[in-house]
Amino acid sequence: MSLYSPAEGWYYKKVAKDEKMWMVIALILCIALFIWMVMWHVYGKQNPSSTTYRTSTTEFAKLSESYIKKNMVGLDNGVPVVRPKPNTDVFILSEMWRWSPALILQKDQSYKFHISSKDLLHGFSIQPVNMNFQVFPGYDYVLEFKPTEVGEYKVICNEFCGIGHHTMIGRIVVIEKEEDLKLYGYENLKKEPDPLPESGSSGKVLTEAEMVLMGEQVYTLKGCAACHKIDGTSQLAPAWNGLFGKDELVIENGKKITVKVDEDYIKESIRTPQQKLTVGFEKTPMPIFPLTDEDVEHVIAYIKSLQ
């Protein structure tokens, strides 16, 4: 609604000649741009078309967790590495602030990516080829993906997602021959994913090796890997290698005491992290993670194995 009404009968007044000319030019331009848009999509080297499905963050997180559990062949900086078979579904989860898993793909083979976010909007940007997709929580973004060139690709997040945004870098390597794995430090990964032991609820007793394997998965999937490293570096939290059996200086009730890192101590550190704070890491207190008792047992087995 306009504040002023036009004069009566304006609709039937003739349009001036030059005004008409501009309308025709605009119309032609509109049609040309419209055709251009369709042609650009078909013939231009644009981002591929994709399909999107509704999902929920918990549902997708569960899907990707079980996908990684079943398919991981190793770790890269605490991020699980998966080597999917061609023409299979691949689940990629973004969360503050990482992409997981890292992928090893075969040149000229197709993969069906499912991409979603666990928390907020992230941007899936493959560099240096500069393909960009928005990743929303609650949507399963399905993308046919066929790498045509070997090499290492970084997955950069290109939507600002908080303080760790700039560290949110994933990895996709595309290989042609097995030897190519060496270029990326992946030559020692498992050839095939380990067959997973059934979780403890089946009543089956796990072997020590199976416990360690399950613990390693808790380590990567539940996010312990973000702070606890296993290569001896410790910026945010004590490293896990060589930790078990060690004497640790901690603060309890304001007093410094020495404790031996054993099963009870690890259990307590997970359940009530504020009880004893390791000297040197008081500034980065650990949050409480919702782990099951089994998860905790497995984590302990894993830490024990890291000598």
Whole-number Å distance between alpha carbons of 30 and 79: 48
Q: Is the Cβ of residue 92 or residue 168 nearer to ligand CUA in the bound state? A: 168
Site string for ligand CUA, 167-196 (x = CB under 6 A): -x----------------------------
Site string for ligand CUA, 201-240 (x = CB under 6 A): ----------------------------------------
What does DSSP say about strands 102-106 and 169-175: parallel, antiparallel, or unpaired?
Answer: parallel
Q: How many residues bind ligand CUA (CB under 6 A)?
A: 8
Q: Kindly state whether residue 92 participates in binding ligand CUA, applying the rule CB under 6 A.
A: no
Minimum CB separation from ligand CUA for residue 97, in Å?
Answer: 6
Q: Is the Cβ of residue 69 or residue 122 nearer to ligand CUA in the bound state? A: 122
Q: Which of positions 107-166 make contact with ligand CUA (CB under 6 A)?
A: 122, 157, 159-161, 165
Q: Is the Cβ of residue 125 or residue 278 nearer to ligand CUA in the bound state? A: 125
Whole-number Å distance between alpha carbons of 111 and 25: 45
Q: Kindly state whether residue 297 participates in binding ligand CUA, applying the rule CB under 6 A.
A: no
Minimum CB separation from ligand CUA for residue 159, in Å?
Answer: 5
Minimum CB separation from ligand CUA for residue 161, in Å?
Answer: 3
Q: Is the Cβ of residue 99 or residue 265 nearer to ligand CUA in the bound state? A: 99
Cβ contact 75:190 at 8 Å: no
Q: Is the Cβ of residue 159 or residue 210 nearer to ligand CUA in the bound state? A: 159
Minimum CB separation from ligand CUA for residue 164, in Å?
Answer: 8
Q: Is the Cβ of residue 48 or residue 162 nearer to ligand CUA in the bound state? A: 162
Q: How far is CA 248 from CA 41, 79, 148, 218, 245, in A?
A: 61, 27, 51, 23, 9
- Site residues (CB under 6 A) for ligand CUA? 97, 122, 157, 159-161, 165, 168
